[in-house]
Chain A
Amino acid sequence: MYVILAWRNIWRNPRRTFVILMAVIIGVWSMIFLGALMRGMEREMLKNAISTLTGSIQIHHRDYLDDPVVNNSLDNIGRLDTALDKILGQDSLWAKRVRVNAVVSNARHSGGVTLVGIEPEKEKAVSFIGKAVTQGRYLVKEDKNKILVGRAFLKKFNTKIGNKLIFMSQGTDNEIASKAFRIVGVFRAESEAVEKRFAFVPLPQAAGMLKMGNSISEISILLPELDISGKKEALVAKKLVAALDDITIDDKTITVETWQDLLPMMKAYLEMSGFFLYIWYFVVFVAMGFGIVNTTLMAIFERMREFGLMKALGMRPVQIIIGVITESFFLLVLGISLGTGFGFLSVAAIARNGIDLSALAAGAEMWGIPRKLYPEIWAQDVVVAGLVVLVLGIFVSLYPAVKAARFTPTQAMTKN
């Protein structure tokens, strides 16, 4: 009975109902929308960090990360390949790399740089470099002595496409290896630091220069899905470790790291981010809450006569309270549904093109946030938002409900 009464009561005064609904809708909408923006931002940040060569998972020689010299290389390439094939399945992509610190010089400048030997076709799918070349062209497998450098690097060395760069590093024979490369393409990255730091050449050329034979420095794997909590990646990494244990000759010469291991700051940031979002939800609700209490109170007072009458007819105070709360419940549920609906709609409207952040390009550069932001709704956020509003909404409705229950018939009749 309460249910029917409550429902009918709501619609008796559409204007009143509408006003309260609006407050809830706006509140919930803002929670969903903000949540989507935040999650979208998180994902883009992570994607960006990963595509700057980190990948979902990486495999190295045990000592490579501490000491990235050519002697700490992966040797059993053939068996690694088969193991990866078996475990990773169709949708994962991986690429091999040779990566060393080198000194690069031309006639007037010299400096330190990280030389990365890549498999051009495979690398395209695994990291940013495939799409980052803005001048000249990308590398192809057959390239002999071609190199890609960053735009900031080009400026620093005062050189241009077609010019030479001489690289020097230490080979596996402990002799100085040097080689000339010609700039064939220039890439842009999210930060100037990345542009200055990496130079890309075809893997065989780098391996040849360093006398590495068939050894490589690292394998970078991109899983089809990016899990912000890092759990999926950790699972796959575990499987890989088990499989690789079988094929290593010495005990544990290979390590497998997920992006969480490689980017601990990012991991910490993402964990905190979710936490703060929910605190914010609470704050938004409180802001909303005042309005809800106020408008509900006003509604109650408007209906003073009605409540007084009900009491006169024998309704107990508790029943009035339940009635009012039920009305609030409906309003909240309705508002939450509509608010969530609008949330979805507004996110969908933006999701197609993303939000363009180029105005803040300078600031965005540091943290690797790309120029476009794609909002993303998490089921978990929707549920939390809805629950917060519903539970707290009912809680704050208690005050007006109690007030309503206290109206005496005399007060009601002498109103006005």
Chain B
Amino acid sequence: MSVELKMAWRNIWRNSRRTLLTIAAIAFASMLLVFMLSFQLGCYETMINTSVKISTGHLQVQAKGYLEDKKMRLVIKDPDQVASVLETIDGIDSYTFRANGFSLVSSDKRTYGVVVTGIDPEREAAVSTIKSLIRKGRYLNADDTYAVLIGEHLSRNLKVDIDDELTILGQGRDGSIAAAVLTVTGIFDSGLDEFDRNIILMGLAGFQEVFSMGKSVHEAIIMADSLRDVAMVKQEIQNHFSTAGDDTKLAVPDWMEIMPGLLQGIQMDLFSGIMMYIILIVVVAFSIFNTFLMAIFERTREFGVMMAIGTTPSRITKLVMFESICMTLVGILLGILGGSLITLYFQKYGISIAGTEDIFKEYGIPDRLYPRLSLISSTAGPLVVFLITFVSSVFPALKIRKLKPVDAMKTV
């Protein structure tokens, strides 16, 4: 066994230029796949993180049933207790609390139906991007009770500007009238129509007072350290609350449950990406197939001699297969190595796509995109290359069996 292996290795290097080129082709393809896959996955991660940062967070804690039907009554009765649990969990980067209520908002001129959301200004700034989306005026301070932030769209529709007054009229948690006069303190623009037009933000304390919430809230918004920590954090929170007794009845939906469309969009994009990769691999495999084929033709004489001295065709076939496996392995390893290094470099420094920086910045999307190296991204591509290369080397190898020693030796 090892004789064939040794021979295979030596054979390869007999024609180093050809071998190097073949290895280069395989390495190139593998490297490219590693980098592209890492980039794609990294982009998805960026996309997800950006989307969740606008309002939903990586995961949330809510009363059971709130996700499906946002009834005022479905509250988290004791946010302090939830906070103490969250503090103990590793993997949570930041969290905040919010409360929501559907209300009518009126300016002098118009009335619209909106969702009023009470936020904790300090904590919120660490969790969502809203602070950076303020275009006019200022963000909320901790002591702002009756100040409100509204979207640009809404400010136009209501025909109000900074320091104008708005009246909100809605229903409190206990069904009583919730009414207040709020002063427009800041105007934001998130780029998302739905958000800008339908949501206004005020201080949580003020909200709780106006909507008779006591100290209860509706949602705890949680940002995990990274996307990969979400599942683990979710599990831990759930464990805590299942042991705490049935009374609490809390649910812990993650971003996939809150925004199912995002996941689907990513799956779709992954699909089209995979389509491209497969085509690339086919092209590469073909290249290599070509090379192997030609190499076999070239060595006909050599094989003839070997057979004449008694080597069985199948041993020769095995030899040739080993040769291709060796080259492929070296190519793949080099590719993984090279690809990983390049990926890690950009993972640290990021890539910016010309022309997109401005738009991205405006909407809180980081202007640099970061590929993310993972076990999957570094091995999936090269593995497929290996398989397909292996398969494509079989055919030329089989051709050997058909050789007749005498004819073979006559070839020049």
Binding site for B on A (CB under 8 A): 15-16, 19-20, 22-23, 26-27, 30, 33-34, 37-38, 41, 66-67, 191, 193, 268, 280, 283-284, 286-288, 290-295, 297-299, 302, 360, 362-367, 369, 416
Tell me how far the C-beta of A315 lies from the nearest C-beta in chain B, rounded to whole angstroms: 22
Collect the chain B residues with CB atoms within 8 Å of residue A288's CB: 283, 287
Cβ of A185 to closest chain B Cβ, rounded Å: 26
Q: Does B268 contact A369, Cβ atoms closer than 8 Å?
A: yes
Interface residues on B, range: 35 or more
Name which residue of chain B comes closest to A27, CB basis: B283
- Chain A residues near B298: list those with CB within 8 A: 298, 302
B153 within 8 A of A: yes
B-side contacts of A193, CB under 8 Å: 261
- Jot down 18 A-B pairs with beta carbons below 8 A, ordered by A: A19-B290, A27-B283, A27-B286, A34-B275, A41-B272, A191-B261, A283-B280, A287-B28, A287-B283, A290-B22, A291-B290, A294-B18, A294-B291, A297-B17, A298-B291, A298-B294, A298-B298, A363-B268
Residues of chain A within 8 A (CB-CB) of B29 are 287
The smallest C-beta distance from A285 to any residue of chain B, in angstroms, reads 9
Q: How far, in whole Å, are A363 and B272 apart by their CA atoms in the complex?
A: 11
Interface hits, B1-49 → A, CB 8 Å: 17-18, 21-22, 24-25, 28-29, 32
Q: Is B412 part of the binding interface, using a Cβ–Cβ cutoff of 8 Å?
A: yes
Return the CB mask of B145-178 against A: 1 if under 8 Å, else 0.
0000000010011000000000000000000000
Chain B residue nearest to A28 (CB atoms) is B283
Q: How far is the CA of A292 from the CA of B286 in the complex (A)?
A: 11
Q: Are A294 and B22 in contact (CB under 8 A)?
A: yes
Assess the B286–A22 pair: CB atoms within 8 A. Answer: yes
Most buried by B among A290, A292, A295, A297: A290
Question: In angstroms, how far is the closest chain B Cβ from the Cβ of A173?
Answer: 16
Instruction: Give the docked Cα–Cα distance between A280 and B276 (Å).
Output: 8
Give Cα A261–Cα B169 distance, bound, in whole angstroms. 35
The answer to whether A284 and B280 touch (CB under 8 A), given A66-B157, A293-B21, A298-B294, is yes
**A16 to B296, alpha carbons, bound, how many Å?**
12
Most chain B CB within a 10 A radius of its CB, from A19, A37, A291, A360: A291
B217 to chain A, nearest CB (A): 24
Q: Tell me the smallest distance from the CB of B360 to a CB of chain A, in Å.
A: 11
CB of B271 within 8 A of chain A? yes
B25 x A290 contact (CB < 8 A): yes
Min distance, Cβ B34 to any Cβ of chain A, angstroms: 13
Contact A26 B276 (CB under 8 A): no
Check if B264 sits within 8 Å of A33, measured CB to CB.
no
Closest Cβ of chain A to B261, distance in Å, is: 5
B295 adjacent to chain A (CB < 8 Å): yes
User: Which residues 279-300 of B have a CB within 8 angstroms of A?
Assistant: 279-280, 282-284, 286-288, 290-291, 293-295, 297-298
B267 within 8 A of A: yes
Return B108 CB to nearest CB of chain A, in Å.
16
Residues of A within 8 A of B65 (CB): none
Tell me the minimal C-beta distance from B209 to chain A in angstroms: 28
Query: B265 on the interface (CB 8 Å rule)?
Result: yes
The answer on a CB contact under 8 Å between B24 and A26 is no
- Residues in B with CB closer than 8 Å to A280 are 276, 280
Given that A193-B261, A290-B22 are known contacts, is A26 also in contact with B153, CB under 8 Å in the complex? no
B290 and A37 within 8 A (CB): no
Query: Bound complex: CA of A37 vs CA of B274, how far in Å?
Result: 13
Q: Say whether A34 contacts B290, CB under 8 Å.
A: no
A22-B290, A41-B272 given as contacts; is B153 within 8 A of A362 (CB)?
Answer: no
